[in-house]
Amino acid sequence: MMTAPLQHALYLAIFLFALGVTGVLVRRNLLFILMSIEIMLNAAGLAFITAAARWGQADGQVMFLFILSLAAAEVSVGLALIIRIRHRLTTLDADAANLMQG
């Protein structure tokens, strides 16, 4: 069976994570920020799966399942917040929600 080398999978995970971080930092639309966070979570999940395959342990897969359920919960809360913000500020611009400035 042809297996991808460990490094490649980790490089992909790092790339995905960096992509997510960049998305969070540069996008202003809240929906896109939420999606970027999903990408970061999946990058972390990929790293766990890779590690599980490398050492043949089930723990990594268990962690991945956790991450999936966490992502689902996070999205539902996040979407609810986004709806409230949209309702309140009539925009999805993250920079507009800066009422808590010191």
User: In the bound complex, what is the minimum distance in angstroms from residue 44's beta carbon to other proteins?
Assistant: 13
At 45, give phi and psi (nearest 5°): -60, -40
Tokens of 36: 């970027």
CB-CB contact of 48 with 18 (8 Å): no
Q: How far is the CB of 12 from other proteins (least distance, A)?
A: 19
7 contacts other proteins (rule: CB under 8 A): no
User: Cα–Cα distance between 25 and 46 in angstroms, integer?
Assistant: 22
Q: Which residues, 77 to 96, sit near other proteins by CB under 8 A?
A: 94-95
Q: Restricting to residues 32-51, name those near other proteins by CB under 8 A.
A: 33
Q: Examine residue 10 and tell whether it contacts other proteins (CB under 8 A).
A: no
Given a contact cutoff of 8 angstroms between Cβ atoms, the answer to whether 43 and 59 are in contact is: no
Task: Check binding of 100 to other proteins (CB under 8 A).
Answer: yes
Q: How far is the CB of 72 from other proteins (least distance, A)?
A: 22
